[in-house]
Amino acid sequence: MAIPQLTLSLLAGMTPEEHEVKIVEEVFNETVDFDQEVDVVGITIMTQTAIRGYEIANEFKKRDKTVIFGGIHATVLPKEAIMYGDAVVIGEAENGLWEQVLNDIKTHSLKEFYKLDKFPELNNYIVPRRDLIKTTAGKFKIAPIETGRGCPYNCDFCTVPSSFGTKQRLKSIDLIIKDISTIKEKILFFLDDNITINKKFAKELFERMIPLKKLWVGQASINIVKDKELMNFAYKSGCRGLLIGFESMTETSIGKYKKTFSTFKENIEAVKKLQDNGILVMASFVFGLDDDNYKVFENTYQFVKKAKPAFLQACALTPYPGTRVFEKMKQENRILTDDWSQFDAKKVIISPKNMTPEELQKGYTQIKDQTYSYKSILSRAAPHLFQVYRKHYYTSR
């Protein structure tokens, strides 16, 4: 299920009115018309979409169009991306950078690389052109929104630190509320990697969101349960689901990334506490970390069986360029392919430290079969869905 993204609508919002903008999202099965009348083609790429992005660029270059690359993959590998386009925007495009690119095209002075001297502060309101993007996730109408960028957890397998920094940069709450007030969709999806890192900020934001009567889902750490007031404000503001990164259930990995509690039992109790408060949990795990051995699959299954998170996200460790894991595994010759299209967190493309690739693939497939079936999801989610509905009904009356 594709989740709406914000980047392209923000770029469209930064684009001067003299330009006509069209957004095509292949992830929503939209078709690229290579023969359409356009002057500039902007392509944002992640690692798993890089090859397709280069294919699209080649087609437009055959037609003498100017191609600009951006996105996480182009940010960490700009010298690769420039081989297929005319310019690369490295990192974020605020603070007039995107406008500079467009002006340089107009004056025939386009440079190969564009990058801000530092991460931009997010204190200028940009009106996202959500009218140009798909605001759906499956059958639900859902609008993407962000409160800030950057993450202090600095996980070695994550691209956020190198792309957005290890310091969280927050938008002002006034700007966030202003943005929400322009959204017609009932459900919001907060794109922040962890919306509750700054508890004081989160409490004030959630309290001010209550009168807006929106529902929302997002990402946070399980540590939210330590602060009952924060958890209650989250629910009252419309939070009905959170993706929680537990990463690994081996004894040495639990709590290693400082996003979870340090024991198996504490994490189980925390999931139950969050769901008892009306907030469904999607538990996220990464399989193939260096501390993982084959026991991690049974440990994870037992955790899911006992904690009963409503949903599960199982990822095969993927060494994305720009991460410390990529550099380490590249030096150790443990990356099994250089085909970027395989870097989708669903395929085993590494030699893990404490098991064979075949064992990792077998265990990963097994845990998905055990937990992704309709029967398994229904058995975990149904009681909580009823509880969420019941709590929401009585709260709304």
284 CB burial (10 A radius; 0-12, 13-18, 19+): middle
Identify which of 274, 248, 54 has the alpha carbon closest to the alpha carbon of residue 156. 248
Strand partners, 87: 68
Predicted TM-score of the model (pTM):
0.90
Dump the DSSP string for 176-210: HHHHHHT---SEEEE--S-TTSSHHHHHHHHHHHG
In the block, which residue shows the tokens 């940010």?
Answer: 75
At residue 218, the 3 state secondary structure works out as: strand
The pLDDT of residue 395 is 56
At residue 113, the 3 state secondary structure works out as: strand
* Distance from the Cα of residue 245 to its chain's centroid: 12
Length in residues, the chain: 397
Give the 3-state secondary structure percentages of the chain, helix then strand then coil, rounded to 5.
40, 15, 40
User: Is the torsion defined by CA of 35, 36, 41, 47 positive or negative?
Assistant: negative
The pLDDT of residue 394 is 46
**For the segment 244-261, what is each residue's pLDDT rounded down to a tens digit?**
998 888 766 665 656 676
Helices (H), 251-294: 264-276
Query: Would you say 215 and 142 are in contact if contact means Cβ atoms under 8 Å apart?
Result: no
In one letter, which amino acid is 321? P
User: How many Å apart are CA 231 and CA 253, to the nearest integer?
Assistant: 26
* Distance from the Cα of residue 362 to its chain's centroid: 26
Cβ-count burial 211-240 (b if 16+ within 10 Å, e if not): eeebbbbbbbbbbbbeeeebbebbbebbbb
Identify which of 222, 369, 333, 347 has the alpha carbon closest to the alpha carbon of residue 288. 347
176-182 contacts, C-beta under 8 A, 24 or more apart = 176/145, 176/147, 176/205, 177/205, 177/208, 177/209, 177/212, 178/125, 179/125, 179/128, 179/145, 180/145, 180/209, 180/212, 180/214, 181/212, 182/127
- Write phi, then psi, for 232 (nearest 5 degrees): -70, -40
CA of 216: how far to CAs of 24, 140, 185, 223, 227, in Å? 25, 12, 10, 19, 19
Mean pLDDT by 10 residues, the chain (397 residues): 87 95 93 95 97 98 97 97 98 96 97 96 90 88 94 86 89 96 96 94 98 96 94 97 88 62 85 93 94 92 92 95 95 97 96 96 94 80 61 53
User: Is the torsion defined by CA of 168, 174, 178, 181 positive or negative?
Assistant: positive
User: How many Å apart are CA 90 and CA 254, to the nearest integer?
Assistant: 34
**For the segment 296-342, what is each residue's pLDDT rounded down to a tens digit?**
999 999 999 999 999 999 999 999 999 999 999 999 999 999 999 99
Helix axes 357-371, 295-307, angle to 10 degrees: 10
User: How many Å apart are CA 351 and CA 360, to the nearest integer?
Assistant: 9
Identify which of 238, 248, 262 has the alpha carbon closest to the alpha carbon of residue 360. 248
- In the chain, what are the domains? 7-115 (3.40.50.280), 135-396 (3.80.30.20)
In the block, which residue shows the tokens 């349960």?
Answer: 225
Query: Would you say 316 and 364 are in contact if contact means Cβ atoms under 8 Å apart?
Result: yes
The pLDDT of residue 104 is 98
The pLDDT of residue 56 is 98
Query: CA-based angle 117:121:127, to the nearest 5?
Result: 115
